[in-house]
C-alpha cells in the first residue's frame, strides 16, 4: 500500500477513534498493536461500516500515521493488517499517551507468519471481552486487561528451588458481572491462546511454569486478584482441546489440587462475546460436559 501524502491532513475524531479508541471504548490500534480492518470495525462500528473503516485506515497509511502489510494466506489477494508508524507514535505521545522508547516501526510489520497469526487471533479474544459492556447493557464488563506485549516487556517472576522462573501469559482479562446491592462478581482469566503448533514437550513445559506460579501465590499478588483461572482457547477444533486436556491431566497427576484452575474452549469465528462467556463451550479437567463461564 503506497503512501501518498494528503495536503494539510490533521487527525479528526474518526481517525483518532481508530488510533486510540473513544471514552466508551478506550481501545484502538495503540492498544492492540496489530489489527485488521474487520477487527477495528467489530470493536467500534457495525459490520456494514467495514468499507468505510478500510478507507479511513488507508488515509492514515497514506499520511504516515500507520502502516499496512498483507496477512500471509494461501489466497491470491490477502487482507491487510495495520500497525502504528512513526508519525502515529509521535501523535499519540503529543496527546499524552505512554509509548515504548524501544518502538521501531519496521518491527511491527516484520513478524513471522506464526507470531502474526497468533497475535491477530488473540486480538479476537480481547475484542470479544471488550465488547461485553455494549452487548449486555452494561451488566457485564471488562474491568481491566493486560496485553501479551506488556507481559513480554515485564514477565512475571517467581523463585523455585533457588532459580528464577519467568511466565509470559498471552493475556489477562478481569471480567466483572454487576449485581444490584451486591459486590460485582469477578472472573479473572489468564489467557493462553493455542494455534495447534506446540508439541507435547513445549506445552507441558509451560504447564510446569504455571504450576510454579499457581503454587506460590505470586499471581494473586501481582494481578491483584483473589484467584485466577488459566483459560486455554483455540480456533483449531475439538481434537486439539482433547489433546491439551490430556497433556494437562498428565502434568498435574501429582498435584491434583491445581486441576480446577485450568479450563479449555474451542471457539468459533467470528468470535462474539456470548461465545466466549455465555455458551457451554468450556471444558474442565474433571468433567467432559462443557460449561458456560457466566450466566446471562
pTM assigned to the model: 0.92
Q: Is the pLDDT of residue 35 over 70?
A: yes
Which ranges of 131-170 does DSSP label H, i.e. alpha helix? Answer: 132-135, 148-153
- The pLDDT of residue 275 is 95
pLDDT(4) > 60: no
CB 98 within 8 A of CB 82: no
Q: Cell 506485549 identifies what position? A: 149
Domain ranges of the chain: 1-110, 112-296
Provide the pLDDT for residue 181: 92
Asked if pLDDT for residue 60 goes beyond 70, the answer is: yes
What pLDDT does 37 receive? 97
Please report the pLDDT score of residue 40 as a whole number.
98
pLDDT digits (tens, 9 = 90+) for 130-164: 999 999 999 999 999 999 999 999 999 988 777 88
Give the pLDDT confidence score for residue 172 in this predicted structure. Answer: 97
**Rounded Cα–Cα distance for residues 65 and 76 (Å):** 27
Mean pLDDT, range 72-85, rounded to an integer: 78
Average pLDDT estimate for 17-40: 96
d(Cα 140, Cα 5) in Å, to the nearest integer? 43
Would you say residue 237 has pLDDT above 60? yes
Residue 126 pLDDT exceeds 90: yes
User: 1-110, which class in CATH?
Assistant: mainly alpha
To the nearest 5 percent, what fractions of the chain are helix, strand and coil?
A: 40, 25, 35
Amino acid at each position: 500500500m503506497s503512501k501518498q501524502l494528503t495536503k494539510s491532513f490533521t487527525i479528526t475524531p474518526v481517525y483518532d477513534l481508530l488510533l486510540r479508541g473513544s471514552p466508551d471504548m478506550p481501545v484502538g490500534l495503540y492498544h492492540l498493536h496489530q489489527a485488521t480492518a474487520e477487527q477495528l470495525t467489530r470493536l467500534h462500528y457495525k459490520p456494514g461500516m467495514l468499507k468505510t473503516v478500510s478507507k479511513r485506515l488507508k488515509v492514515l497509511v497514506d499520511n504516515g500515521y500507520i502502516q499496512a502489510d498483507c496477512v500471509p494466506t494461501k489466497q491470491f489477494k490477502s487482507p491487510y493488517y495495520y500497525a502504528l508508524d512513526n508519525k502515529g507514535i509521535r501523535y499519540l505521545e503529543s496527546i499524552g499517551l505512554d509509548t515504548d522508547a524501544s518502538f521501531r516501526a519496521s518491527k511491527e510489520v516484520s513478524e513471522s507468519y506464526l507470531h502474526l497469526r497468533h497475535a491477530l487471533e488473540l486480538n479476537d479474544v480481547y475484542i470479544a471481552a471488550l465488547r461485553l459492556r455494549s452487548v449486555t447493557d452494561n451488566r457485564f464488563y471488562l474491568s481491566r486487561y493486560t496485553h501479551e506485549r506488556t507481559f513480554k516487556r515485564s514477565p512475571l517472576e517467581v523463585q523455585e528451588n533457588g532459580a528464577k522462573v519467568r511466565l509470559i501469559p498471552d493475556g489477562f482479562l478481569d471480567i466483572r458481572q454487576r449485581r444490584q446491592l451486591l459486590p460485582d462478581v469477578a472472573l479473572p482469566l489468564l489467557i493462553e491462546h493455542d494455534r495447534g503448533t506446540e508439541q507435547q514437550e513445549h506445552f507441558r513445559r509451560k504447564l510446569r511454569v504455571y504450576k510454579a506460579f499457581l503454587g506460590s501465590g505470586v499471581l494473586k499478588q501481582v494481578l491483584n486478584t483473589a484467584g485466577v483461572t488459566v483459560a486455554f482457547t483455540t480456533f483449531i477444533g475439538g481434537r486439539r482441546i482433547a489433546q491439551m486436556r490430556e497433556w494437562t491431566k498428565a502434568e498435574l497427576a501429582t498435584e491434583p489440587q491445581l486441576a480446577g484452575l485450568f479450563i479449555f474452549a474451542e471457539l468459533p469465528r467470528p468470535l462474539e462475546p456470548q461465545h466466549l462467556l455465555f455458551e457451554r463451550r468450556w471444558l474442565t479437567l474433571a468433567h467432559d460436559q462443557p460449561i458456560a463461564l457466566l450466566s446471562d
